Chains A and B, each alone.
Chain A
Amino acid sequence: MLFRVDPSAPRPLADQIAASVRRALADGEVQAGERLPSARELAASLTVNVHTVLRGYQQLRDEGLIELRRGRGAVVTADVDPARLRLGERVAELVDQARALGVRDDELVGLVRAALAGPAI
Chain B
Amino acid sequence: MTRTSRAVTRRRTISAAGSALAGFAVTAALFALWHGRLPDDVATHVGDGGHADGYTSRGDFLPIAAALQLGLGALFTGLTWLNRANPTGARLIAASGTGLAACLTYVDAMLLYVNRGVADAHAVDVSPWHIAAAVTFLPAGFALGWELAGPPPEDLPGAGEVPPAEAGYLRARKSEVLVWTRRVTSPVLAATGGVLLAVGVVVALLVGAAEGLALLLTGPLLLLFAAVRVTVDAEGVQVRYGALPRPRTRVPLARIERAGTCDVRAFKEFGGWGYRVKAKATGVVLRSGEALELSLAGGTRFVVTVPDARTAASVVNTLAARSRSAAAGPSRPAGGTGAV
Contacts and interface: CB of A to CB of B under 8 A. Distances in A.
Given A41-B231, A45-B233, A34 B183 contact: yes
A41 B229 CA distance: 11
Contacts of A45: 179, 181, 231, 233-235
Interface string A47-81: 11000000000000000000000000000000000
B318 to A, nearest CB: 11
A3 B179 contact: yes
Nearest to B308: A29
A88 B47 CA distance: 67
A4 B176 contact: yes
A42 interface: yes
Contact of B179 (A6, A8, A9, A42): A42
A46 B177 contact: yes
Contacts, number: 53
A72 to B, nearest CB: 9
Given A34-B183, A35-B183, A6 B176 contact: yes
A100 B179 CA distance: 26
Interface size class of B (residues with CB under 8 A): 20 to 34
Given A37-B229, A47-B234, A42 B177 contact: no
A45 B235 CA distance: 8
Contact of A5 (B177, B181, B229, B311): B177
A62 B172 CA distance: 29
A118 interface: no
Contacts of B173: 6
Contacts of B267: none
Nearest to A35: B183
B182 interface: yes
Interface string A1-16: 1111111110000000
8 contacts: A1-B180, A1-B181, A2-B311, A3-B180, A3-B181, A6-B175, A9-B175, A29-B308
